[in-house]
Structure 1
Amino acid sequence: MRMPSHPLLRRLRQDQSGLALIEFAYSLPVLLALTLGGLEVANLAITHMKLSQLAMLVADNASRVRASIDEADINEIFSGAALSANGLNFAANGKIFLSDLEPNRQDAPNTGQYIRWQRCYGSGSFTSTYGTTSNGASDASMVDGMGPTNRKISAGNGTAVMFVEVAYKYQPLISNSIFGEKTIRYTSAFNVRERTDQAMKNAGNLSTSQTATCS
């Protein structure tokens, strides 16, 4: 014998008005994950673009300094770099290495390239991958120049190359759990244009704390 169905229970069993809401609740976590992941991918791509442009900007500007180069010129170049890296909090999380690469003028077998001087910007905990001041000055340890393997840059006789390495600890938009902790590095190099004196000058007698020496 069937018990009569209560009208309220019958209406609840037949009611489908909340179906769309339930489906949305199931799909919301997936939709949210895709949205946040997409935002993080976009942020990473923009960061790569900015850092690549930053390396080119510094190398290009350093190569354009005419006649001779001074500590004040370096400070101006890095001031421009700080503006270019706006939004990345680069000063705290990154570092720029600007190196003057030249032939070392040594006789064989010590003929090669050397870093005459190197200047830095940023307080990120990085060291240069390709060398520091005076590396290669008296030996052939930098005979092929600076840069990644099979893509090294060297300077011709009587000139110099401004070689820039940018290192940056990626700052996620959402969380490190998506890509993990990442260190991004870019390099760029420009031959000096009209400068014939490559030695670093300090016409303004700036103190060590006022210059961009690497520490």
Structure 2
Amino acid sequence: MMGITRRLWRDRQAAAAIEFAFMLPLVMYLGGAGIEFANYGLSQMRVSQVAMTLADNASRVGLASTLATTQIRETDINDIFSGVRLQSSGIKLSTYGRVTLSSLEYVPQTYDVVPVQRIHWQRCLGKRSGTGYDSSYGTTTTTAGTTATLANAGTVSAGMGDSSPQVSAPLGYGVMFVEINYDYQALFGTLYVKPMLIHYVASYVVRDTRDYSMIYNPAPTVTASTCNLYTV
């Protein structure tokens, strides 16, 4: 009996395979963690890039008129939202998130006695809804900005974004403010991370001399991406 025990103790055959078998679960767990956290970082970068690109595009888009001002139209907004869908298709942002585009303006309108800073209008994209997904910094009605009247003037606002500091529009100008809330889609469920929300904002001052009176929707009219719609 003692002889058999000594032979087994001295036997080194397949030692590496046995050690690998013991270490394999730990190696796989740590490897999966690395993949998960790398994917999370990549998702954050993609959401931030979408926010910046949308704010930049919204600050440039529009139709130049004979009055040397640029009209922004519903079709222009729908076009830049189409760009968002293409840019974020890899993370399915419109399926698992919510994008809110706000026009924060500090522009005297015909019905103003003094200049008023307001969220003049908002347009949205994405299926997610409710607290945590809809705009955290102020909302407007679905008709806000669709006519150049006080009834559709939007919502008075001191600014948008986090309190330190908030984004505000310069006098006579508008700011395109983008807020994105996205449910991170984990690769391994809840094994490494709990369900979490990726949140990013971005803003750009409007680049051209824009007509801030309203959003135009000339014939043939298009369906506006108003924030009561929750679509991909």
Same fold (TM over 0.5): yes
Equivalents in 1 of 2:99, 2:154: separation in Å? 26
Asked if the contact 2:105/2:174 (under 8 Å) is kept, the reply is yes
- Residue 137 of structure 2 corresponds to 130
Equivalents in 1 of 2:154, 2:40: separation in Å? 41
Match of 1:201 among 216, 219, 232: 216
Structure 2: unaligned runs, 5 residues or longer: 63-69, 145-152
- Pairs within 5 Å for 1:54-133: 54-66=50-62, 67-103=70-106, 105=108, 112-125=116-129, 126-133=133-140
Greater gyration radius: 1
Shift of 1:149: 1.1
Match of 1:23 among 7, 15, 19: 19
Asked if the contact 2:98/2:125 (under 8 Å) is kept, the reply is yes
With over 3 angstroms needed to count, the CA separation of the structure-2 counterparts of 1:177 and 1:151, relative to structure 1, is farther
RMSD over aligned Cα, in angstroms?
Answer: 2.3
Equivalents in 1 of 2:6, 2:160: separation in Å? 80
Match of 2:196 among 182, 186, 190: 182
Equivalents in 1 of 2:113, 2:209: separation in Å? 25
Equivalents in 2 of 1:86, 1:138: separation in Å? 32
With over 3 angstroms needed to count, the CA separation of the structure-2 counterparts of 1:34 and 1:138, relative to structure 1, is closer
Asked if the contact 2:107/2:174 (under 8 Å) is kept, the reply is no
Shift of 1:32: 0.7
Name the TM-score, length of structure 2 as normaliser: 0.80
Name the TM-score, length of structure 1 as normaliser: 0.85
Equivalents in 2 of 1:131, 1:150: separation in Å? 16
Equivalents in 2 of 1:204, 1:24: separation in Å? 70
Aligned residue pair count: 204
Identity %: 40
